[in-house]
Amino acid sequence: MAKAKEPYDFYSPEAEEGRIRAERDKARKLRKTRWWQQKTAQGICWYCGQKVGYANLTMDHIIPLARGGHSTKDNLVPCCKECNTKKKSSLPVEWEEYMQKQDAQTRESF
């Protein structure tokens, strides 16, 4: 009996680019909503917890679009530019590992 193919066996780069483009459009629309204004009002980065002011926050996908994430309210958080740049397309567990290494290096330097 032939093995059934999994959905990921039919990967299409063009389809993935289209999905990501559509998700970015959704994120742009959500950025204009009252919901996003409330999320950014305190000006606090979701990752590092620093108060940077709402004008210095970016919208970040907790699970990045490139890793299968979606532009939904439960996957979007306000993030400072520094954390967003460092996080790139990391998953939450990868980001936690990175932060733990940074903390360890900071403690070793004292």
- Between CA 92 and CA 104 the distance in angstroms is 18
pLDDT of residue 1: 53
DSSP track, 14-83 = HHHHHHHHHHHHHHHHHHTSHHHHHHHTT-B-TTT--B--GGGEEEEESS-GGGT----TTTEEEEEHHH
- pLDDT at 8 > cutoff 70: no
Question: Per-residue pLDDT tens for 26-63?
Answer: 999 999 999 999 999 999 999 999 999 999 999 999 99
pLDDT of residue 4: 52
Average pLDDT, the chain: 88
Give the tens place of pLDDT for each residue, 87-102: 999 998 998 998 899 8
Closest CA relative to residue 86, chosen from 68, 64, 54, 108: 64
